């Protein structure tokens, strides 16, 4: 009988693969993978429920490496346990088009659950996973049928805890009692600049206890202690757990362990040779003994776990066929088959009713129409539901001991948005989150990450311009629309009335591979008349709202609240005999993606007299009007005054549009 391989030797396999790959790339972070290898060995070999043969098995545990700079840790784990991550993939670490990019990236590597680049957002995504698991289980599990039943584990470091988002999401996780959420904190006391005691002296234990977490402390290199702490964390079902693991960064490196020099640079060939001796590791770079692979291989166990779950799900399907079908639909991210038709009918109804309301109220009406059709729609607002108008009729708050479909996020814009990314990635829900457009700035990086990960998250931003009035320049967005519109893979909709608002919501709900930002006004907006073709063309992002009454000479492009202003200018200009059309462009990104024939039909290239009007920064619109065109908008911050006074003060008026058009024709 062969002698069992020690847990330390199995952990050392992670260490050597990690520092070898970093050395070959001449780039990366070897210290964290080396320091957390013992924790990873315990979690992945003893506790993690996953199937390397099917990384997308619905009931798998989720694992997040929030300190994603230590990415060779997860790549080594995926390789060792049997995922489709080969030794050649490890050798291609940080190279173009490899499965092993510098930070874990969703969609690049089988087994990577989320993109973790900016520190702290990984743990926010993990909180989203845990909320999704808990809520989905409450909605679909039945007595004797725990179809949704998995844990979320996250590794994090000092940097994650220094980022403010960690406070936002850990506080909410404790309040919600997410008992299947377990964090492992790599407490090594080192960051890039050196020993963190010079700038990070928080009492992390007391901090998390105050949030309502179970906090455990262990030696991060003692496998038995890590095992017992993990068992204790799993046993605590009423609150999340933080396991503080005291570790040595770069452990095993004789001259660099415990030092910042092992954090973000290769160890160097000489130090690697010494480290191999220290670890008693006899193999050449990227070579492992068969017995190491055999001890790590998780395929058979994972396939058995999934097979058992499939048998349970078959029993569930027989007992609850409608629930089972609905669960699968939602997990696959598919909308009900009749949704598109019902959405079209509602949009037409909005056009026929022709209400003059604020677009935030039009958004509220759309939510109340679509939510009963889509039980997967999970709402939330950063303490502004009464102003955002996001609390739909049958909203039920998610609480510690109750399921629901609405999250009261509190004043946590950044955490809210990153949590929503996690909810979307988990599956089973379409999350929307809301705040004032100005406070998008707090959430900006999480909005970007959702776009990068191609997640269907809907961002509702109200109070969209100087039109919000007396709150003044601190609350009046100017440059935010440009920031959103220039974000790749994000669709930014700024509708002008109820019909455009309903269309924006419908298109955002249908967009499986990108997030959407829906921008709504505080002030009432006039309804616009359209025929059926114009209503249908709203979904193309831009369309001719008002056709020229004589030979076309000029085009006015407008969005949102300024469409009404543009229409007033159109009437005046038409009376003057100017051949002018109005193009409403609620979503410039979608319009730009249309075929050239359609774009030409809306914005004929031979018409150079173009004026854009929007109560936001002017620079974005020169791409549509050209350098010879004119843009009516903002070039400064706003002021505190009633909305009507502000539009006059900053020259965003019908008279200004008429004058601009006449100056060009």
Query: Which residues are identified as catalytic?
Result: 413
Tokens representing residue 49 in the block: 């429920």
Instruction: Note whether 65 and 119 are within 8 A (CB).
Output: no
Torsion angles phi and psi, residue 267, rounded to 5: -70, -30
SS3 content of the chain, % helix, strand, coil (to 5): 45, 15, 40
Number of separate helices (H) and strands (E) present in the chain: 27, 20
Residue 39 phi, psi (nearest 5): -65, -45
Q: Residue 205's closest CA among 195, 213, 194?
A: 213
Question: Which helix (DSSP H) or strand (DSSP E) does residue 518 occupy?
Answer: strand 516-519
Positions at the binding site for Mg(2+):
158, 188, 190
Q: Which residues are annotated as a binding site?
A: 29, 69, 117-119, 158-159, 188, 190, 263, 360, 387, 439, 463, 471, 475, 522
Residue showing tokens 């038995």:
224
CA distance 76 to 86: 10
Provide the annotated binding site for thiamine diphosphate. 69, 117-119, 159, 188, 263, 439
β partners of residue 156: 185
- Torsion, Cα 200 203 205 210, to 10 degrees, reads -110
421/264 Cα distance (integer angstroms): 28
Task: Please report the DSSP string for 207-250 in residue order.
Answer: HHHHHT-EEEEEETT-HHHHHHHHHHHHH--SS-EEEEEE--TT
Residue 201 token pair: 């002296």
C-alpha to C-alpha distance for 169 and 115, rounded to whole angstroms = 17
Q: Closest Cα partner for 61 from 218, 182, 146? A: 182
281 Cβ neighbours under 8 A, 6+ residues apart: 12, 16, 275
Rounded Cα–Cα distance for residues 154 and 494 (Å)? 37
Query: What's the half-sphere exposure (Cβ side, CA atoms, 13 Å) at 361?
Result: 12
Nearest residue to 524 via CA among 359, 325, 330, 290 = 359
Rounded CA-CA distance 425/106 in Å is 9
């Amino acid at each position: 009988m062969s002698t069992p391989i020690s847990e330390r030797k199995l952990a050392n396999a992670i260490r050597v693969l990690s520092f070898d790959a970093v050395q070959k790339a001449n780039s990366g972070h070897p210290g964290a993978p080396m320091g957390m290898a013992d924790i990873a060995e315990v979690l992945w070999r003893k506790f993690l429920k996953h199937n390397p043969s099917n990384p997308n098995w619905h009931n798998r545990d989720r694992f997040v490496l929030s300190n994603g700079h230590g990415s060779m840790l997860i790549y080594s784990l995926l390789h060792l346990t049997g995922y489709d991550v080969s030794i050649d993939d490890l050798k291609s670490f940080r190279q173009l088009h490899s499965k092993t990019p510098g930070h874990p990236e969703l969609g690049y590597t089988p087994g990577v659950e989320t993109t973790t680049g900016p520190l702290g957002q990984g743990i926010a995504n993990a909180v989203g996973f845990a909320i999704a698991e808990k809520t989905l289980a409450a909605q679909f599990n039945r007595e004797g049928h725990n179809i949704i039943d998995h844990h979320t584990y996250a590794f994090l470091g000092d940097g994650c805890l220094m980022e403010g988002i960690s406070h936002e999401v850990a506080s909410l996780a404790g309040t919600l009692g997410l008992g299947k959420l377990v964090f492992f904190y790599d407490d090594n006391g080192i960051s890039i600049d050196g020993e963190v005691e010079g700038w990070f002296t928080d009492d992390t234990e007391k901090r998390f206890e105050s949030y309502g977490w179970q906090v455990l402390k262990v030696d991060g290199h003692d496998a038995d202690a890590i095992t017992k702490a993990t068992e204790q964390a799993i046993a605590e079902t009423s609150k999340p757990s933080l396991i503080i693991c005291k570790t040595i960064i770069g452990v095993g490196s004789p001259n660099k362990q415990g030092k910042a020099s092992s954090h973000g640079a290769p160890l160097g060939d000489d130090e690697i040779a010494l480290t191999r001796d220290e670890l008693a590791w006899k193999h050449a770079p990227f070579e492992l003994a068969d017995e190491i692979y055999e001890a790590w291989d998780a395929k058979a166990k994972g396939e058995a776990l999934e097979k058992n779950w499939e048998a349970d799900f078959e029993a569930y399907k027989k007992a609850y066929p409608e629930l089972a079908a609905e669960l699968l639909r939602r997990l696959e991210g598919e909308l009900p088959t009749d949704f598109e038709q019902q959405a079209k009918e509602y949009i037409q109804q909005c056009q026929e009713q022709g209400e003059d309301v604020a677009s935030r109220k039009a958004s509220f009406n759309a939510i109340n129409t679509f939510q009963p059709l889509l039980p997967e729609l999970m709402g939330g607002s950063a303490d502004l539901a009464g102003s955002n108008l996001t609390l739909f009729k049958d909203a039920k708050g998610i609480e510690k001991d109750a399921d629901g479909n609405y999250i009261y996020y509190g004043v946590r814009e950044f955490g809210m948005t990153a949590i929503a990314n996690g909810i979307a990635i988990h599956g089973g829900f379409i999350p929307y989150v809301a705040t004032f457009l100005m406070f998008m700035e707090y959430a900006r990086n999480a909005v970007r990450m959702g776009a990068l990960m191609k997640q269907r998250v809907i961002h509702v931003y109200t109070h969209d311009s100087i039109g919000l009035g007396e709150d003044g320049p601190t609350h009046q967005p100017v440059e935010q629309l440009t920031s959103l519109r220039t974000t790749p893979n994000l669709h930014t909709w700024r509708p002008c009335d109820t019909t455009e608002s309903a269309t924006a919501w419908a298109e955002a709900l249908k967009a499986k591979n990108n997030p959407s930002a829906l921008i709504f006004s505080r002030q009432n907006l006039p309804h616009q008349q359209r025929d059926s073709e114009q209503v249908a063309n709203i979904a193309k992002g831009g369309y001719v709202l008002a056709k020229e009454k004589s030979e076309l000479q000029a085009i006015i492009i407008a969005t949102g609240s300024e469409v009404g202003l543009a229409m007033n200018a159109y009437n005046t200009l038409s009376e003057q005999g100017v051949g002018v059309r109005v193009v409403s462009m609620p979503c410039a990104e979608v319009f730009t993606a249309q075929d050239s024939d359609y774009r030409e039909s809306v914005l004929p290239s031979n018409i150079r007299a173009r004026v854009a009007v929007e109560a936001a920064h002017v620079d974005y619109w020169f791409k549509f009007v050209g350098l010879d065109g004119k843009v009516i908008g903002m070039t400064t911050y706003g002021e505190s005054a009633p909305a009507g006074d502000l539009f006059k003060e900053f020259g965003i008026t019908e008279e200004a549009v008429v004058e601009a058009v006449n100056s060009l024709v």
